[in-house]
Amino acid sequence: MMMTEGVSPVIEVVGLRKSYGELAAVDGLEFDVRRGEIVGLIGANGAGKTTTLQSLAGLLKPDEGLLKVCGRSVVNEAIEVKRLLAYIPDSNQPYDLLTVREHLTFVGLAYSVPRLEEKIDAVLEEVGLFEKRDQQASTLSRGMIQKLSLACALIWDPVAIVLDEPLTGLDPRGIRAMKDLIRMRAESGMAFLLSSHLLELVETICHRVLVVDRGKRIAFGSLAEIRASFDLPEKASMEDIYLAMTVSR
């Protein structure tokens, strides 16, 4: 287990609120993500996951609340935060006419990445796109586009990565590779916040899980902590826990 007690979190969210008209999509959410930690965000369709992630990424302006990345305010220090946190949505539209490698060159130059050429090769190997490096984005499959989105984040070494449904479109081998990659990057210190409906993913790779229901936090902790606080048996899986603590609507 990681020695993270007493270390200030990479991502810190306190009292986040965001409404769309009368609807409170996120209603007072609070959580943190530490260095080297993978936190999973789960909840029913419409529970407020994407709204939370987009608020953290600076794409949505929250109505209330404190959102910080490495102590910097997402709202008031937006540029600094853009150099710290990468957001990868569940479906990304690449530039059709650019090749895979050109995407990475473009992003790498924007972030002034040193020794960019070597870095591009290493990241392409890491995400499994090296063979496709000279292919135009318009010719990539959905899963390959997901990998390209991840590569465009890894190329500049963000401190934290926020992923909305990271396994969408990946084949079984791609799923395994994505899990391994996230784990390895976390071991080297990167912080991850990922939303998913795939409870097996959450159970196998996340250190802590945040369960949201109608914009509110209903649980936050390791699987063992959540089991204990809801008086669930030791063998209860993430799926058992989720079904026990949420009601169908």
Task: Write out the residues near ligand ATP by the rule CB under 6 A.
Answer: 20, 23, 25, 43, 45-51
Minimum CB separation of residue 50 from ligand ATP in Å reads 3
CB of 212 to ligand ATP, least distance (A): 7
Q: Measured from the CB atom, is 50 or 246 closer to ligand ATP?
A: 50
- Least Å from the CB of residue 48 to ligand ATP: 5
Nearer to ligand ATP by C-beta: 55 or 185?
A: 55
Angle at 109 between CA 140 and CA 73, to 5 degrees: 100
Nearer to ligand ATP, 50 or 149 (CB): 50
Measured from the CB atom, is 47 or 194 closer to ligand ATP? 47
Residue 49 CB, nearest distance to ligand ATP (Å)? 3
Instruction: Select 50 or 146, whichever has its Cβ closest to ligand ATP.
Output: 50
State in angstroms the smallest separation of the CB of 18 from ligand ATP. 8
